[in-house]
Amino acid sequence: MPPASEPAASPPEPGVPLFDLARQHRPLRAELLAALEAVVDSGQFIHGPAVARLEAALGAALGARHVLGVSSGTDALLLGLMALGIGPGDEVVVPAFTFVASANVVARLGARPVFADVHPAELVLTPEELERRLSPRTRAVIPVHLFGLPCRVDELVAQCAPRDIPVLEDCAQATFARLGARQVGSFGRLGAFSFFPTKNLGGFGDGGALSVADGELLARLRRLRDQGGRARDDYTELGGNFRLDTLQAAVLEVKLRRAEAWQAERRAVAGRYAALFSQAGLGAPGDERLQLPPCPAGREHAWNLYVVQAARREELRAHLQTRGVGAGVYYSRPLHLQPCFAPGPGRLPAAERAAERVLALPCYPGLTPPEQERVVAAVAEFARA
């Protein structure tokens, strides 16, 4: 104890983590545990009724004719490519600035990922760049709605249609994002979603889904999801084990009922950041110190991540750490420079520049205005130094 004449030291101010799932789960604890207990009591852990219920509810929420639950977002992409018949000798166009899974699945099937550069501010594939990457060997395109921002996927689909090239939308970070009145995942032949815990709709482990409008393609996806069988001991083609666990489906069912409210919170957080950074004199067009994430008209951002671009990214990240503010880098090396894909196609300047500048700031339901003020104050302190 300090002497009576000295005031007690104030406890350290709690930090602002990059993610805080506990805030989301705490109010739902009883409901989540009850859903899990119901699955345990039923003993139906594979293809249990919660899976079918979730698929139907997701179809309604995503504006999709059919939704198929699968084991992860990566497996959603892999299964989608398998159903499209992608294999050795084929080329699949993929943006160079995204998570490795978007290209990994292509290479796993013996096909060749063709890396495309991205828009320097939006960080997504553009129709202009796609045109430069298409070839007679292109058999599919995987546009990524990165960090929650929809790309101009309607234009990409129109571009591919005369060539009969299917589009598989990577919606892993963009669940509930919209382009105009339509949800992402409803434009291409297929849409792939991830339910990784930190996604906008996240489970208690891995999980994913595919959205599809074509009934015949859905039937093939179902077969491939279960080892390629039409029935037990009747396997017509090589598939895999891509099933969504019933336990995960039960968790996602509970959380899906809150998804709309959580999306509204994410939008409010993003809007508050924009206002706070403007008040701090940061993020104006042309400000190299800090470039805020764009949200073009007609596109509803899902705000899975709030990613800024900073000229002195690593120094800023270190400074935020000293101030108790969580920040993360997505992604520090573009795919065309990854050793597993080398040699790449040469320079892709926008992707390479983004890899040196991007920094994700805390953005999730439950993040409070005072916490955001603390984040912005720490960034502004660094910018003034």
**pLDDT, tens digit, for every residue of 37-87?**
999 999 999 999 999 999 999 999 999 999 999 999 999 999 999 999 999
Where along the chain do its domains lie? Answer: 22-256, 259-384
Output DSSP code: residue 257.
T
Task: Please enumerate in sequence order all residues whose Cβ is within 8 A of that of 94, keeping only pairs 6 or more positions apart, or say none.
Answer: 102, 103, 106, 113, 114, 115, 116, 142, 144, 335
pLDDT band at 345 (very low <50, low <70, confident <90, very high): low
pLDDT band at 224 (very low <50, low <70, confident <90, very high): very high
The Cα 254–Cα 37 span in angstroms is 13
> What is the average pLDDT across 319-337?
97
Domains 22-256 and 259-384 share a fold: no
pLDDT band at 97 (very low <50, low <70, confident <90, very high): very high
CATH number belonging to domain 22-256: 3.40.640.10
Residue appearing with tokens 């093939």:
220
The Cα 357–Cα 311 span in angstroms is 6
Structure tokens of 306? 């709030």
Specify which residues 291 forms β-bridges with.
309
DSSP letters of 107-165? HHTT-EEEEE---TTT-S--HHHHHHH--TTEEEE--B-GGG----HHHHHHHHGGGT-
Say what the pTM is: 0.94
Return the pLDDT at 174: 98
Domain 259-384, CATH number (from 3.30.1340.10, 3.90.1150.10, 3.30.1490.190, 3.40.50.11540): 3.90.1150.10
Return the pLDDT at 5: 44
Percent above pLDDT 70 for the chain:
96
Q: Please say whether the beta carbons of 61 and 176 come within 8 A.
A: yes
